[in-house]
């Protein structure tokens, strides 16, 4: 088992957990945490809530994500995994195929925007090894966004803190998952894969809509 876990601690081209910027950030986040679980919870909470979820590029390293403050499921999961690996916590990536248009159309509002969302898409989240078991954890949706979209069918569980003992998956409903693509220690090939880039208007529009929900959520209790 130990040999198998080592690959989930190694740096890769995009999950550059050996980068000094990642080391500095990870150590700052876990300051005061005494246990491995407490460290994992602190890192997860930080990445989930301090980086806004949004559509965009995915072809940059975890260390390059630090200053961006906004990321996709892929880039947020990548930063989370990198910071966990710094602390010696094995972490990897789960990839699933989802009914993307059905998932996102609930809060994109405008038909002209919804129609530009692919019918199918890939969703990536993290998995961390704690207490001799793998726990699936999805840091995609920041809490301010969750507060604003609950009325559109998203689970209020996203407002709860992860306890470090159970899975934390509250973004993609089970009936919207088409298939599981696997569990990986390295997704560099995915980062490098050439894909159709979303147009600037789409990225701007979806970003503004999500920021509106965050603004709206700020006034909800």
Give residue limits of the domains in the chain. Answer: 2-217
pLDDT at 81 (0 to 100): 98
Nearest to 191 by CA among 77, 23, 67, 88: 77
pLDDT at 159 (0 to 100): 82
Chain-centre distance for alpha carbon 111: 26
The pTM of the full predicted model, rounded to 2 decimals, is 0.92
pLDDT at 122 (0 to 100): 93
**Largest interatomic CA distance in the chain:** 51
Give the C-alpha separation, 125 to 47, whole Å: 12
**CATH for the stretch 2-217:** 3.10.620.30
Residue 76's H or E segment, with its range, is helix 73-86
Q: pLDDT tens-digit profile of 162-221?
A: 999 999 998 898 999 999 999 999 999 988 875 555 567 777 888 888 898 898 877 766
């Amino acid at each position: 088992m130990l040999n198998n876990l080592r690959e989930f601690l190694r740096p890769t081209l995009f999950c550059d957990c050996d980068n000094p910027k990642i080391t500095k950030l990870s150590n700052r986040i876990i300051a005061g945490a005494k246990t491995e679980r407490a460290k994992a919870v602190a890192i997860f909470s930080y990445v989930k809530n301090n980086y806004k979820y949004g559509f965009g590029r995915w072809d940059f390293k975890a260390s390059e994500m630090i200053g961006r403050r906004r990321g996709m499921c892929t880039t947020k999961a990548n930063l989370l995994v990198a910071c966990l690996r710094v602390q010696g916590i094995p972490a990897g990536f789960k990839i699933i195929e989802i009914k993307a248009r059905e998932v996102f159309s609930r809060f994109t509002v405008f038909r002209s925007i919804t129609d530009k969302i692919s019918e199918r898409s890939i969703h990536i989240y993290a998995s961390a090894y704690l207490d001799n078991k793998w726990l699936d954890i999805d840091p995609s949706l920041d809490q301010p966004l969750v507060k604003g979209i609950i009325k559109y069918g998203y689970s209020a569980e996203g407002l709860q803190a992860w306890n470090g003992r159970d899975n934390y998956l509250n973004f993609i409903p089970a009936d919207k998952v088409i298939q599981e693509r696997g569990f990986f220690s390295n997704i560099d090939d995915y980062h490098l894969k050439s894909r159709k880039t979303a147009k600037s208007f789409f990225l701007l529009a979806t970003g503004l809509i999500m920021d509106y929900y965050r603004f709206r959520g700020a006034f909800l209790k």
